[in-house]
Structure 1
Amino acid sequence: MKLWPVIARIAALMLLVTFIVAPQLFAFVFEPLTEHGAPAIYNQSSLLSLTLSHLRTVFGAVVASTIIAVLLGVFVTRPSGIEFLPLSRSLVNIGQTFPPVAVLAVAVPLVGFGEAPTFIALFLYGLLPIFENTLSGLTQVSPLTLEAAKGMGMNPRRRLFEVELPLALPVILAGIRLSVVINLGTATIGSTVAAKGLGEVIIAGLQSNNVAFILQGGLVVALLAALIHDALMTLERAVARRLGR
Structure 2
Amino acid sequence: MKIGNLIRLVIFGLLLVFLIQPELFAGFFGLFTKNNQPAIYNQGSLLDITLNHLGIVAAATLASTIIAVGLAIVVTRPFGAEFLPLSRSLANIGQTFPPVAVLALAVPMLGFGTAPTLVALFLYGLLPIFENTLTGLTNLPPAVTDAAKGVGMSGWQRLIKVELPLALPVILAGVRLSVVISLATATIGSTVAARTLGEVIIAGLLSSNTAFVLQGGLIVGVLAVLIYDALSALERFLMKRTGQLGRA
TM-score by length of 2: 0.97
Q: Is 1:131 matched up with 2:126?
A: no
The CA deviation at 1:142 is: 2.1
The amino acid that maps onto 2:121 is L
Distance 2:14 2:95 in 1: 34
1:35 Cα offset (Å) = 1.3
Structure 2: segments with no counterpart, 5+ residues: none
CA RMSD of superposed structures (Å) = 0.7
1:223 and 1:187 map into 2 onto residues whose CA distance is 15
Distance 2:183 2:70 in 1: 23
Work out the CA distance in 2 between the residues paired with 1:127 and 1:10. 31
CA deviation vs aligned residue, 1:178-225 (integer Å, no higher than 9, x gap): 000000000000000000010000000011110000000000000000
Match of 1:113 in 2: 112
Task: Quote the offset at 1:68 in angstroms.
Answer: 0.2
Tell me the CA shift for residue 174 of structure 1. Answer: 0.3
Cα offsets for 1:79-112 (capped at 9, x unmatched): 1111110111111100001000000000000000
2:234 is aligned to 235
Q: Distance in 2 between matches of 1:151 and 1:220?
A: 52
**What CA distance in whole angstroms lies between the structure 1 residues aligned with 2:103 and 2:46?**
24
CA distance in 1, matches of 2:143, 2:231: 30
Residue type of the partner of 1:137?
A: G
The residue aligned with 1:67 is 66
Q: Does 1:160 align with 2:132?
A: no
Residue 197 of structure 2: aligned partner: 198
Deviation at 1:60, TM superposition (A): 0.4
Matches within 5 A, 1:206-217: 206-217=205-216
Separation in structure 1 between the aligned mates of residue 121 and residue 128 of structure 2, nearest angstrom: 12
Q: What is the alpha-carbon distance in structure 2 between the residues aligned to residue 75 and residue 171 of structure 1?
A: 17
| Aligned 1:40-59 pairs, distance under 5 A | 40-59=39-58
Distance between the aligned counterparts of 1:53 and 1:97, measured in 2?
27
SS in 1 for 2:78: coil
The SS at the match of 2:43 is: coil
> CA shift at 1:146, angstroms?
1.4
- Could you say what secondary structure the match of 2:72 adopts? helix
Aligned to 2:25: 26
Gaps of at least 5 residues in structure 1 are: none
Q: SS where residue 153 of structure 1 aligns? A: coil
Alignment length, in residue pairs?
244
CA-CA distance at 1:143 after TM superposition: 2.5
Measure, in 2, the Cα distance between the counterparts of 1:54 and 1:215: 17
Give 1:224's aligned residue: 223
Amino acid in the other structure paired with 2:61: V
What's the secondary structure of 1:71's corresponding residue? helix
Return the alpha-carbon distance in structure 2 between the equivalents of residues 168 and 131 of structure 1.
Answer: 12
2:77 aligned partner: 78
Matched, 1:97 2:96: yes
Residue by residue, what CA displacement relative to the aligned partner does 1:116-149 show, whole Å, maximum 9, x if unpaired? 0000000000000000000000001122221211
Q: What is the one-letter code of the residue matched to 1:133? A: N
Residue 13 of structure 2 aligns to which amino acid in structure 1? M
Superposition TM-score, scaled by structure 1 size: 0.98
Give, in whole Å, the separation in 1 of the partners of 2:132 and 2:11: 30
Map of 1:144 onto structure 2: 143
Q: Match of 2:79, SS?
A: coil
